[in-house]
Amino acid sequence: MKVPFLDLRTAYLELKDEIDAAVARVLDSGWYILGPEVEAFEADWAAYCGANYAVGVGNGLDALILALRALEVGPGDEVIVPSNTYIATWLAVTAVGASPVPVEPDPATHNIDPARIAAAITSATKVLLPVHLYGQPTDLDPILALARQYGLFVVEDAAQAHGASYKGKRIGAHGDVVCWSFYPGKNLGALGDGGAVTTDNDELADRIRILRNYGSRVKYVNDVRGSNSRLDPIHAAVLRVKLRHLDDWTKRRRSVASRYAEGLPGTRLILPHVPDWAEPAWHLYVVRSNQRDTLQRKLTKAGAGTLIHYPIPPHMQGAYGDTDFGPLAIAESLANTVLSLPMGPQLTTQEVEFIIECCINAEEI
Ligand SMILES: *Cc1c(COP(=O)(O)O)cnc(C)c1O
């Protein structure tokens, strides 16, 4: 047996008829930028997230950039970000000319440690930008409380958290703006790049809607210097199909996670910790091992695909080689020990049992 880390084709094949029909409908419509398909998906996605508004954009990175631009974050401003995240979170901050200020994660959850945030706040801080990493909701209440106390905005990076809940309420409108990616491998994935923001704030929604479309409300009238970052109707139509299956697919991810949690405790692997207020979306199932590289080699040899999310933290990337963020020991230690096992709604029971068996065998050395 061989189990790849991720197989996007099986996900497509499961919904092939519905997806093909949706794509054909857009091709037939003769309308290929914004329009009714995008508006319909925006309404569906806002409703699903429990938010007043959703705005479809070109990708997850642009969702973050446009959210920061709408909040008028720029040079001289500081944005508090997790030290342990995908680099897009940081790139959005530097793209608008602001400075990322990293805060270390709680090693148990891998998410930003709210207890460390206050010490990083200065008079230049404008935004708290937590990430729901791996689809595990971050502890939002203390973050929202700090934001109120210091007069800061909260922008959530929810690129991995479609369908996750925090204290019984879906991720989507806790902070001022919530940013989504529909990159094909995400829990709700398009057939190419796509993204969105959700918010309860009508002014922010309106600003982002204009910024994504050349700063224009009326064709050829440009009120602000916008950009071109629009969700394509073809992707919107596909996302509407997939959204109808998202809860079922999340349920199936949760049952894979439960099976791992039952089958792996015999090993020395450190398994994900789920706080009692969290309902994760299980974008990734990330374990930790002090012999991570050896373990990954053995699993590869046995036919079990794995990946590392992420091998190099943002502050150690060449992209930020010109800035000294100091040592960030927790992020660095996680980067050296994390390993993502196959996770997805299309994994079969036999495949999950095979992965568990491979992990048990690999640990025996
Ligand atoms: C995927 C991802 C992004 C960026 O999304 P794109 O659609 O690839 O631009 C941002 N943040 C996190 C945490 C992500 O996982």
> Can you give the pLDDT at residue 266?
86
Instruction: State CA 23 to chain mean position distance.
Output: 25
Q: How far is the CA of 136 from the centre of ligand 1 (A)?
A: 15
Q: Atom 4 (ligand 1): residue with closest C-alpha? A: 60
User: Do 93 and 100 meet the contact criterion of CB atoms below 8 Å apart?
Assistant: yes
Domain 246-361 is found in CATH 3.90.1150.10: yes
Which residues, in sequence order, are CB contacts of 193 under 8 Å at separation 6+?
Answer: 58, 59, 182, 183, 235
Q: How far is the CA of 363 from the centre of ligand 1 (A)?
A: 32
Ligand 1 neighbours by CB, cut-off 6 Å: 59-61, 85-86, 88-89, 131, 157, 159-160, 181, 183, 193, 195
Q: Atom 1 (ligand 1): residue with closest C-alpha? A: 159
Please give the structure tokens belonging to residue 62.
């642009």
Return the domain boundaries, the chain.
8-243, 246-361
Give the Cα separation of 331 and 337 in Å (integer): 10
Burial (0-12, 13-18, 19+ Cβ within 10 Å), 263: middle
| 3 state DSSP class of 338 | strand
Q: Which atom of ligand 1 is nearest to the CA of 194?
A: 7
Please give the structure tokens belonging to residue 63.
């969702």
Q: Atom 2 (ligand 1): residue with closest C-alpha? A: 159
> Can you give the pLDDT at residue 182?
98
Q: What is the pLDDT along the chain (365 residues), one digit of tens a residue?
A: 999 999 999 999 999 999 999 999 999 999 999 999 999 999 999 999 999 999 999 999 999 999 999 999 999 999 999 999 999 999 999 999 999 999 999 999 999 999 999 999 999 999 999 999 999 999 999 999 999 999 999 999 999 999 999 999 999 999 999 999 999 999 999 999 999 999 999 999 999 999 999 999 999 999 999 999 999 999 999 999 999 999 999 999 999 999 999 999 989 999 999 999 999 999 999 999 999 999 999 999 999 999 999 999 999 999 999 999 989 999 999 999 999 999 999 999 999 999 999 999 997 75
The DSSP code sequence of 343-356 is --TT--HHHHHHHH
Q: Which atom of ligand 1 is nearest to the CA of 186?
A: 1
Q: How far is the CA of 37 from the centre of ligand 1 (A)?
A: 23
Nearest of 141, 181, 128, 113 to residue 334 by alpha carbon: 113
Q: How far is the CA of 60 from the centre of ligand 1 (A)?
A: 5
> Can you give the pLDDT at residue 26?
98
Q: Atom 7 (ligand 1): residue with closest C-alpha? A: 60
Cα-Cα-Cα-Cα dihedral sign, residues 226, 228, 229, 234: positive
Q: How far is the CA of 360 from the centre of ligand 1 (A)?
A: 32
Which residues, in sequence order, are CB contacts of 276 under 8 Å at separation 6+?
Answer: none
Please give the structure tokens belonging to residue 25.
């409908």
> Can you give the pLDDT at residue 220?
92
CB under 8 A, 24+ apart: contacts of 143-147: 143/112, 143/114, 143/117, 143/175, 144/174, 144/175, 146/114, 146/117, 146/118, 146/121, 147/175
User: CA-CA-CA-CA torsion for 206, 209, 210, 213, nearest 10 degrees?
Assistant: -170
pTM over 0.95: yes
Right CATH for 8-243 from 3.40.190.10, 3.30.565.60, 3.40.640.10, 3.30.450.90: 3.40.640.10
